[in-house]
Amino acid sequence: MNGFDHKEGYQASEVRRMKAQYESGGLSRRQFLQGLMATGLALGTATAIVTGSRDVRAETPKRGGRVRFASSGHGPTDTLDPQLFTDGIAYTRGRTHLNNLVQFNDDLSVRPELAESWEVNSNATEFVFHLRKGVTWHDGKDFTADDVVYTMNRHMGDESISKAKTLVAMVSEWKKIDQHTVKASLSSPNSDLLPTLATFHFKIVQDGCDDIPGYFNKVIGTGPYTCEEFSPGVRSIGKRNPNYWREGPWLDELELFAITDPVARVNAVASGEVELASTIDTKAFKQIDDAEGVSIFSTKSGQYVDIVMMLDRHPGNNPDLVQAVKLLQNRKRLVRSVFKGHGAYGNDHPIGEAYADHCESLEQTELDIDRAKFHVNKSGISEVELMASEGIPNGMEFALLFQSEARKAGLSVDVKKVPHDGYWGNIWMNTPMHLSNWNMRPTAYVMMELAYAPHAPWNESQWKNERMGVLLEQVRAETDPGRREDMFCEMQGLIRAEAGTALPVHLNYIDAISDSVKGMPRVPLAMLGGCEWPEFIWLEA
């Protein structure tokens, strides 16, 4: 093949890729046009392609139809209780039957949902929410301030089993002002409370639900679909709520279940058995591309995989070794080969490009065998053990790539593959060096507070940095955008330089959807556009 052919092939495939993205709503008209011209097309040609493509953002939704969604996992732990939600299928069920106070836009700003409007005082310690009137629960009861107060109190106190209670630990009281007004008083400022309340675990449940027998077996919500059936590890069914308080939903019925086997899941979506399938293995891209009427749905996100070196024990207590491991990450090859381009370079801190507060000015760490060799020699360590598991996305490939680069610098890495069940309880934060992965959080502050604050229980590398603690405290109360930006940059730089985490890549969420599915949202926080789709999608015949 000559060079010319090769270039033509590249251009054609780029045009096809961008056209598909535009037609599924992933690119605006302007971005699409600019992208086309960046591949070397003339303005006239590019405009013709844009005009020839369907602009989905201008399409009107159609009512009717039934959609089946195959998630990647389910089991006896399936629950409809928002405070215990763990995985994509639970988040999706939350969006199917319930509502939040506020809701994410694709860029992670928030818009009103059950709260019609709100007021925040100047130092972000008092939030007053005005609730929407005329909203009813699936059983006909009116939605009121009591429901909100009850829901929020489930996340508070020592008795709470909520998975999200640390996120709202600074809220000292939720108070009902009148039937449709609620006030949250905070013991310390938190300018990120609104995005926090838009996340999965803060879906609003009915007042007193813990004492209603069987409430969570067939959850009663205010959401777009009523819960017709829920059997853990088998499936759940949602039927359109005819009394929904806003426009939509469009489908008559939704069936949510999981096909745990990755190959079977790809087969099911490729043969039209299901309309949406989550978490597509990179090895299956070709099969999806070849299948008629199905496309990859890839959403840029801040989720990441990393190597944790616990700084309080050997070998992580040796700063040279930590440096060497960061320098030994082959980020280019990880993104290109292991994740097939569906990812972005990580810079050893958790705040990737998908975050609004990503710091652009930090220098990107690159693979540098010579410098790594210097640090390995200086550390005097020639052998380390790394725990890895299949449960971490592409974890084995990630670990083995690191192993092969490390060998070049004279560091021998013994990769130990361990089963994923019990991984978070026994391996994570218990063994000196292991793989970890984190979902994206709604804001840079929440992410760093959870995983890198000196007092954070999930500070996985035991990196206790006082300056980091001070900055986190300050940024929470800071409202000046310029000063906030400086602080966020300083924190990202601190983590990059000193924390015991080598973080080489941010992963996209990669799912597959039928071409008949329209109106997919693109919230980057979880699979399939943040699991926000049940309310918004419709079927195009």
Nearer to another protein, 81 or 511 (CB): 81
Task: Name residues contacting another protein, limited to 41-70 (CB under 8 A).
Answer: 70
Nearest to 81 by CA among 218, 174, 255, 235: 218
Q: Least CB distance from residue 248 to another protein, whole Å?
A: 24
Task: Name residues contacting another protein, limited to 453-492 (CB under 8 A).
Answer: 457-458
Nearest to 492 by CA among 284, 346, 385: 346
371 lines the binding site for another protein (CB under 8 A) = no
Two tokens, residue 141: 């009861």
Options 57-65, 72-80, 395-403, 498-506: segment touching another protein (CB under 8 A) = 72-80
Taking residues 246 to 265 in sequence order and writing x for each that binds another protein by CB under 8 A, - otherwise, the string is ---------x-xxxxx-xx-
Selected from 75, 293, 341, 380, the binder of another protein by CB under 8 A is: 75
Q: Least CB distance from residue 307 to another protein, whole Å?
A: 16
Options 122-130, 160-168, 303-311, 522-530: segment touching another protein (CB under 8 A) = 160-168
295 lines the binding site for another protein (CB under 8 A) = no
Nearest to 224 by CA among 240, 202, 200, 205: 240
What is the spatial distance between Cα 341 and Cα 332, in angstroms, rounded to a whole number?
9
328 lines the binding site for another protein (CB under 8 A) = no
Two tokens, residue 270: 């490729």
Q: Least CB distance from residue 303 to another protein, whole Å?
A: 12
222 lines the binding site for another protein (CB under 8 A) = no
Q: Least CB distance from residue 513 to another protein, whole Å?
A: 17
What is the spatial distance between Cα 233 and Cα 514, in angstroms, rounded to a whole number?
24
Selected from 24, 72, 83, 279, the binder of another protein by CB under 8 A is: 83
* DSSP assignments along 192-253, one per residue: THHHHHTSGGG----TTGGGSTTGGGS---SSSEEEEEEETTTEEEEEE-TT-SSS----SE
Q: Residue 429 to residues 313, 392, 458, 500: CA-CA distances in angstroms?
A: 11, 15, 8, 12
Pairing of strands 517-518, 294-299: unpaired
Nearer to another protein, 47 or 166 (CB): 166
Nearer to another protein, 165 or 464 (CB): 165
Q: Residue 525 to residues 114, 438, 508: CA-CA distances in angstroms?
A: 20, 11, 10
Taking residues 90 to 129 in sequence order and writing x for each that binds another protein by CB under 8 A, - otherwise, the string is ----------------------------------------
Options 105-113, 142-150, 214-222, 483-491: segment touching another protein (CB under 8 A) = 214-222
Nearest to 413 by CA among 436, 385, 389: 385
Let me know the angle formed at the C-alpha of 282 by 359 and 285, rounded to the nearest 5 degrees.
115
What is the spatial distance between Cα 195 and Cα 276, in angstroms, rounded to a whole number?
27
Options 137-145, 268-276, 314-322, 517-525: segment touching another protein (CB under 8 A) = 268-276
12 lines the binding site for another protein (CB under 8 A) = no
245 lines the binding site for another protein (CB under 8 A) = no
Selected from 31, 45, 77, 412, the binder of another protein by CB under 8 A is: 77
Q: Least CB distance from residue 195 to another protein, whole Å?
A: 18
In sequence order, the 6+-apart residues with CB closer than 8 A to the CB of 255 are 66, 67, 68, 69, 235, 236, 237, 238
Residue 442 and residue 199 in contact, taking contact as beta carbons nearer than 8 Å:
yes
DSSP-derived 3-state class of residue 84: helix
Q: Least CB distance from residue 245 to another protein, whole Å?
A: 23
Pairing of strands 412-417, 383-388: parallel
Binding site for another protein (CB under 8 A): 70, 75-79, 81, 83-84, 86, 158-166, 209-217, 231-235, 255, 257-261, 263-264, 267-268, 270-274, 291, 421-422, 424-426, 428, 438, 457-458
